[in-house]
Amino acid sequence: MSDAQPASYSIFGEFLAIIWHDGHESLLSFERLRKNCPCANCKGEPDLLGGLQMPAEQPEITGQSYVLKKMAPVGHYALQLTWGDGHSSGIYAFKYLRTLCDCDECVKSRATG
Ligand SMILES: [Zn+2]
Ligand SMILES: [Zn+2]
């Protein structure tokens, strides 16, 4: 499989820890995950002109919003995260989770392309 597949993942305090097949490790905080929720409600949907159509009402962020309630695998390619405030429409593809890694190495390689 590609390097966008995890060898293993686990909850570690308030972080989702992922070890990738290429040996890379990502530590993603719940807050970061929630702020980057990929669902249409949080991210908006691209409109026909290529712009971003933001929903009129964003889900309200509360103290519970950054509490991870449940994590369920979606096939072999993604995780569905359920948050303390009941929000659960975010499907986080592993490929996407890898792009959220903000370690020095990833930030650097993104900056240089
Ligand atoms: Zn969302
Ligand atoms: Zn990284």
Residue ranges of domains in the chain, CATH in brackets: 6-43+57-111 (3.30.2020.30)
- CA 40 – ligand 1 centroid, Å: 7
59 CA to middle of ligand 1, Å? Answer: 7
d(CA 17, CA 20): 10
Q: Which token pair is 3?
A: 């390097």
Ligand 2 center to 26 CA (angstroms): 5
Judge if pTM exceeds 0.75.
yes
pLDDT of residue 103: 96
CA-to-CA separations, 111 to 33, 83, 104, 105, 106, in angstroms, rounded: 21, 31, 10, 10, 8
Per-residue pLDDT 10s for the chain (113 aa) are: 455 789 999 999 999 999 999 999 999 999 999 999 999 889 877 777 777 666 656 667 888 999 999 999 999 999 999 999 999 999 999 999 999 999 999 999 988 87
User: Given this model, what pLDDT does residue 59 score?
Assistant: 66
Separation of alpha carbons 42 and 19, rounded Å: 27
The Å distance, Cα 113 to ligand 1 centre, comes to 28
Pairing of strands 45-46, 52-53: antiparallel
Characterize the bridge pairing of strands 78-83 and 91-93. antiparallel
